[in-house]
Structure 1
Amino acid sequence: MASKITKIGVLTSGGDSPGMNAAIRSVVRTCAYLKIECVGVYRGYQGMIEGDFKALDARSVNNIINKGGTILKSARCDDFRTKEGREKAHTQLIKEGIDAFVVIGGNGSFKGALLFNEEYDFPVIGIPGTIDNDILGSSYTLGFDTAINTVVDAIDKIRDTASSHNRLFFVEVMGRDVGHIALNAGVGAGAEEILIPEQNLGLERLLDSLKRSKASGKSSSIVIVAEGDKTGKNVFELKEYVEEHLPIYDVRVSVLGHMQRGGSPTCFDRVLASRMGVKAVESILEGKSNLMVGIKDTKMVLTPLAEAIKAHTDIDEELIRVSDIMTT
């Protein structure tokens, strides 16, 4: 253990995701177990710049493992993008006596932490908290499992209406740059077609697929559309195109939006958050820095932040093949 570490800060940054509170709880209680002080940094990097800190102990995080969102709040911070802003943040950390911090967030949050570390050699460990599951170095990010279960539950309910009225539903899910939510939830919910940013299937293939579904006897269909899909400009344009070329369909659109970010985290996300929090604190006390905690093959692993933010994770080609077979 590095004896110089006596106080660790923890913050959440970027978009919230289910499991963030469970990760905060894990960091705080691991610090308590190891006799290290823990400080919550409120409102992400903005709160760091303003010195919005609060000491946290094991009892401070009672009954939050089951809650969505983040008790530490989150905020966008343009000031932290500037050298002056980061200097203010460093001053506040030193003033508070914080020796290292754990940041729970996504790519943007990690870029800020990496730059801060390079400028001040300040120990930092990242925990991937984003429903998009788009960060290299971890098979799963916090919130992804909860998000796809939320989507599947919503689609199951939409299918009841689709079946009752013989309708075609386009269901838009989050995924501006990657289609992990759409692909996994689409397979899990038995969608007739899944449209993702990684594959521009084209409008004609979509029409052909819907024609085959109709010809095979299906009276209703569900098409999952990731918000970043390139098949049409947006999900409403897809609706209009299908209505124009396949008037036999009664088409509706459902945009799930931010409901995918909320809700009580699944058991998987709670356990993952607990493991990641322990690993993050232990890594700091071992003198490690500039790393992200992840999970691969059920094991906790560490990935350099610089590698984690390089690119998005690849889509699962095998799952795409399964999807194609299941929509037969």
Structure 2
Amino acid sequence: MRRFDCPSCGHEVFFANTACLSCGTALVYAPGRGFLPSTDGDGFCANREAIGCNWAGESPDGLCLSCQHTLIVPDLTVAGNAERWARLEAAKRPVIRALHHLRLPLTDAQGQPAPVFELKGDPLASDAPKVMTGHDNGTITLNIAEADDAERAAIRQSLGEPYRTLTGHFRHEVAHHYWQVLTGGEPARLDALRAVFGDERQDYAAALEAHYRDGPPPDWSQHFISAYASSHPWEDFAETWAHVMHLLDGLETARAFRLVPGDLPLDLADLAALPMARLAEAWAALSVALNAVNQAMGHETFYPFVLTPPVVAKMEAVRQMIQRA
């Protein structure tokens, strides 16, 4: 994330701000242009009042670039769902910003927003099937229970995950969409991915069942960014894509605050043009330092992952895929 200044007084403002804390100017964020002043409320996203969206309305119905991608919102008659929706959208906005700055396609062949998100809560009936987070042909479903910190922590613990965040969910799920979009079903592009991640045509349901029954292979940490990545080539790709996005967004933020070497570019797209080996080197140095700072403060580890050479090679394949797009 870049650093931003108030367009009225020059005071620093942050990505989630709806107003400058120094001069009180109402702010509206426009992807690619930064923050713009809006003293009379013109240009606000239609969801500003409901969920605190601070982006500029762009669509005919007044929705911003990010909110246009949400197809279904939670049932707002259920207590707490408005807050859950707001937290989910706050986690989605930096993901959409990154996709926009990396010039990845955000519309389908008909010019409609893609991917789209369905943010659903579990049915009230105890015997009804629960909402499963996942991707299906450009539609990403997220269970809004993930917006509750305690619920998300419980799921993380039950699955033995070292890291589980809302933004990470969005980054992982959009990867499944871009596997489809950026390969376009073309054999040469699919073969290139299969050479790195394996053949995705193996039975997905059976692979996941085996993963949850038997666990990952003993040496998974040498070849995969996470244990879950070892379950199936699609999940390996999605987990790897998510970590490429973690690195790019994290390094952009660190560069803006001068926490990494000054020879790294400031812009997200320019960072993505660098070889992954260079990005991983800078990220490793940063994450080791921030892991130590977090531990000194009594917090959980900042980045509990190891970037082995095979993992960096997979991340490089994803980076090149993004660059070609």
> If the length of structure 1 is used for normalisation, what is the TM-score?
0.23
Question: Normalized per residue, which structure has more strand?
Answer: 1
> If the length of structure 2 is used for normalisation, what is the TM-score?
0.23
Which of structures 1 and 2 has the bigger CA Rg?
1
